[in-house]
Amino acid sequence: MRVALGADHAGFPFKDLVREAVEGLGHTVVDCGTDSTDPVDFPDITQATCAPVLAGEADRAILVCGTGAGAIMAANKIPGIRCGLANEPYSAHQAVEHDDANAIALGAWLAPRAFVPDIVREFLAATFDDDADTRRRVAKLNALDDLAPPTT
């Protein structure tokens, strides 16, 4: 599996830990930045990290920022990306199994370092349930991409 990996400056200290976990499972990392703790804008890193998934150059994406909140908000504004917050292993697995997530956001300030290998393993090993209930819910989730803001 090819995994796009991106971190903003707050997530950068966790980036190598995530890379090691991905590569330790035999997968390939597509590095999408950043390369230091110098300030960068998380929407830019999120877009750069999700782009390979949308282009078919990566199978999934892992986004790392301080809490994961900014990355998940930015990712879920990108049509075709379904991103779950995964600061522990169960959510990483569940996001794929029930919500067909192709990305997770991870909080470097919140996720225990010891959980990172398990979070990555659960995310990459999970498969979508693909039953009638989950297909219906994901179709409704994807339809939200087409909503327009109310006009006044």
Q: Is 27 known to be catalytic?
A: no
pLDDT of 152 above 80: no
Taking the model in full, what pTM does it have?
0.95
Residues whose CB is less than 8 angstroms from the CB of residue 89 and which lie 6 or more positions away in sequence, other chains included: 115, 118, 119, 121, 122
- 90 three-state secondary structure: helix
Q: Which of 9, 65, 83, 93 is catalytic?
A: 65
Q: What is the mean pLDDT of residues 14-18?
A: 97
Rounded to an integer, what distance in angstroms lies between the CA atom of residue 129 and that of residue 18?
25
Q: Is 65 known to be catalytic?
A: yes
The pLDDT, as a whole number, for residue 68 is: 97
**pLDDT confidence bin for 32, thresholds 50/70/90:** very high
pLDDT of 55 above 90: yes
